[in-house]
Amino acid sequence: MRAVAQRVRASSVTVGDAVVGRIEHGLLAYVGAQREDSADDLAYIANKLVNLRIFEDDRGKMSLSVLEAGGGVLLVPQFTLFGDVRRGRRPSFDDAELPERARELFDQLVAEVTRFGAIVATGRFREEMLVEARVAGPVTILLDSRKVF
Q: What is the pLDDT of residue 3?
A: 98
pLDDT at res. 6: 98
How does residue 149 score in pLDDT terms, banded at 50, 70 and 90? confident
Strand segments (E) across the chain: 2-15, 18-23, 26-32, 55-56, 62-64, 72-77, 119-122, 130-144
pLDDT score of 148: 87
pLDDT digits (tens, 9 = 90+) for 51-75: 999 999 999 999 999 999 999 999 9
Domains and CATH numbers, the chain: 2-138 (3.50.80.10)
* pLDDT tens digits for range 66-101: 999 999 999 999 999 999 999 999 999 999 999 999
Signed CA dihedral, 147, 104, 28, 50: sign only: negative
Q: Identify the pLDDT of residue 56.
A: 97
Q: What is the pLDDT of residues 2-55, one digit of tens each?
A: 999 999 999 999 999 999 999 999 999 999 999 999 999 999 999 999 999 999
- Residues forming the active site: 78-80
Longest Cα–Cα distance of the chain, Å, equals 47
Environment class of 82 (CB within 10 Å of its CB; exposed 0-12, middle 13-18, buried 19+)? buried
Q: Please check the confidence at residue 114 and state whether its pLDDT lies above 90.
A: yes
